[in-house]
Amino acid sequence: MAVVPSVVFSAGIALVARPDWVGIAGALVALVSGLLFGGQYIAGDGVASDRKAGSHLGSGSFVFELIFKPQLLWAFGVAIAHCIFLYLSDFIGDDTFRQFFGGLPIIVWYSAYCLQGLGIPGPAAGASYGVPRQRWLALSWAAAVASAATYIGVAGLASPSEFSWAAVITIGAGGIASAVIGAAVKIWRTEMGMIPGYLMFFIANGASDTQGFLDGAVILALVTAGILAFVGIVIQAGYLMGLINPNHAKEKV
């Protein structure tokens, strides 16, 4: 992620120049812009061309470049950005806005799974390259789990001490749920992609101040993640059985 140093530098300059809400707003713009720019870079750099991708179909490098790499880069970049936002949120006095501000990178991450054009290809991409449906979804699931583990590992070690492991794991579980429902949305109803990502964010982010897994906010977030994942599994099952076909027209790789 070559964009990370410039984004961190820009955010740092904004905070040094104005150590108040204006500086925080400037840092916010720099960091969110960096995440979105990075997503577009991933989208454009994933596979050079259909011919090149087709020539590597079935190879490990093709699978990594098309399925694993985008998800892992998103998870790593978001984990770093989330930690930075959590540290910046200490400057905010209002608890509601502080919690929302601290979790902004997470809404971008969840949206990348559920919306087209942010670098994480859906099943239509696999179909266009001739990848069997079952194989594509299995690899996508594996990539989602690996990405959530990446986020949990980075955020769990680098985030402020008051950000508990329960909160980290809950947000990671929300990432897996977003990946499952996001793949389903890209198969069936691409225009609804914003809804599950935003829903998962607002509920999972509500658990960011919790300290244990028995906290009501954590339980609610995990139950929501389970429901979204279940809905995604049902739609994916219909896709595997040939009852639902992906929307090729709106798929962007």
Report pLDDT digits (tens) over 13-28.
555 555 555 556 666 6
Give me the residue spans of the domains in the chain. 49-81+105-250
- Supply 20's token pair: 């108040």
Q: What is the mean pLDDT of the chain?
A: 79
Environment class of residue 227 by beta-carbon count within 10 Å: exposed (0-12), middle (13-18) or buried (19+)? middle
Mean pLDDT of 236-243: 87
Residue 168's CB is within 10 A of a number of other CB atoms, namely: 22
Q: Which tens digits make up the pLDDT trace of 35-55?
A: 555 555 544 444 444 444 444
Give the model confidence (pLDDT) of 156-196 as tens digits.
999 888 889 999 999 999 999 999 999 888 887 766 767 89
Per-residue pLDDT for 112 more than 70? yes
Predicted confidence band of residue 62 (pLDDT cuts 50, 70, 90)? confident
- In this prediction the pTM is 0.76
Cβ-contact 212, 167 below 8 angstroms: no
Q: Report DSSP state, residue 46.
A: S
Q: Give long-range contacts, CB 8 A cutoff, 24+ apart: 50-55.
A: 50/128, 50/129, 53/129, 54/129, 54/130
Q: Cα 166 to the chain's mean position, in Å? A: 18
